[in-house]
A and B are shown apart, each in its own frame.
Chain A
Amino acid sequence: MIKLSMFQWVGLAIFFLGVFVIVPMMIVSTGRTDLFFTLTSVGLLAIASAGVWLTFYIGRINIGQGAFALLGAYVSAILVTKAGMSFWLSLPLAGLFAAFVAVLIGLPILRLRGVYFAMITLVLTQVFTLTALALPITNGAKGITSIPLPGAVSIFGLTLIPDFATLENPRQAFYFTTAILMVLTYAALYRIVNSRLGHLCRSMQQNEELASSIGVNISYIRILIFAISSFFGGIGGAMFGSIAQSVYPSSFQVADSVNFMLNCFLGGLGYVFGPMLGTLVLYFGWDLLFELGKYQMLVYSSLLIILMLFLPNGLLSLRMRKSGGQK
């Protein structure tokens, strides 16, 4: 029902082959299983960044995704440790709870535009961190530790997902889980952008007054998008908590929120898969510059500035320019 061009099918096939077959095989054959963990992190950050990208799509600079990732991590951790719930059930609940909180917060703050909205969201991460420090249920600065690994899921005695604790290599299992979640996230993002909701978002991004004059309920769409965005943040955060088996108030900080935003900028705000690429490049870019020691930050930030100056539409605009697909 959803039509894709030949080029897109080939791209998709290569992507799936790479993520689900080639990369895991290479990691296993080289024995560098720590890379599973690294790539899982990239995948989860890309999921959270996808949410940030979506708020960009309605013309809002969101530097608060860390708050919702933290929220998701805590919700899942509390449900698993205190209520004894299965992680697989707590995962969507963490996303939904983050979306619910986003609606409450979004109602007053989404009226703001530009730098004012950005500033408020920047503060949000700090507020959530401080709240986590203060509340009894989050266990303050000590955080929630020894979260059990995701348990088994079985229907009628048929095991769909094995208990992660019994696995030889839970990192590999987390890698595949994350890869599937990331694919689902970006498929959803692609559909949103290329369906009516996306078109309405675009109209709002370009001119909210004109959008409301043609009957777009802009406050409803803004809330809806912010909720979806935070849902992704909550899912990413909950996964992180489960992998680390712990959540602290400092698990997600303002710097993380800023990074989510940078991932989107770097990959390209005009391209659905921009944040995925941006996350990958930014994450490994930082690590590659590790050798530079104390100059790491200097070189890293200079490179970012240069990239944004010469590629204001992100890395993916390079490919588009070559193929002449878009002006």
Chain B
Amino acid sequence: MSNVAKRQTSTLDKVLRVALYATLLSVAFIYLAPFLVMLLTSLKDVEEIRTGTLLSLPGSLNLDAWSKAWSSACTGGQCEGIGPYFMNSFQIVLPAVAISTLLGALNGYVISHWKFKGSDLFFAALLVGCFIPFQVILLPMARTLGWLGIANTTTGLVFVHVVYGVAFTTLFFRNFYQSIPGELVKAARLDGAGFFTIFWRIILPVSTPIIVVTVIWQFTQIWNDFLFGVAFSGFDTQPVTVALNNLVNTSFGGKQYNVDMAAAIIAALPTLVVYVLAGKYFVRGLTAGSVKG
């Protein structure tokens, strides 16, 4: 067998192997190119952009576009850059991620280890929430936020993200807790531990991997959200995605592509950093969120 393989590792196989690597690397370049272009453009001045091409290098390391994008570019009415909105996004994302992850963990714990009549049915009903097009809930939610007095506020956005994020976080935790043997919970009950003691002392300490996956998933989803941001935020509570879109579509005073690109990279940076640092967990979240447990 290995002899046969050796004999065939002749020229044809070598050529194929080279072609394979060439294909993979050029595709990799195509995937990288847009980001590379963004980065190069953000470092040029307007004149260089006008005369050069996408991939031409900037004459000098020019960070003007970056500082402008951060603190003085116009996003619709105001000209404060996207810095304040970047902070807004954090104010929305951090509590929304924390609350939806905690709720998901508790829900998953109940659905896998404290089943009650209707809990499975409810889980199925909740799963549908992962799939509905959110356009269906936009109008009623806008009315509800108004009634609750949290329309156009950060609190309102946190609420919306928690409500529609819990379906996913519950799914993640439920699938993970499903693999924890029920005997463990039974043993703890016989030992005299109650609902929260078991959660806190037995279940949570072994949940680190799924907590990481869930936090990363929720962080990426909520940070990258545009629909809820544009529909439910006020002028000064806009998340960075909405501000970026306004900046790019604000057209007075000539287009400044370098500023647009710098702003876009700033807006993408937190999720990119998370992806680079914890790519393994990010992929696990993607596949767990899509392929049912």
Q: Report if A and B associate in a common complex.
A: no
Interface residues, chain A, with chain B CB atoms under 8 Å away: none
Interface residues, chain B, with chain A CB atoms under 8 Å away: none
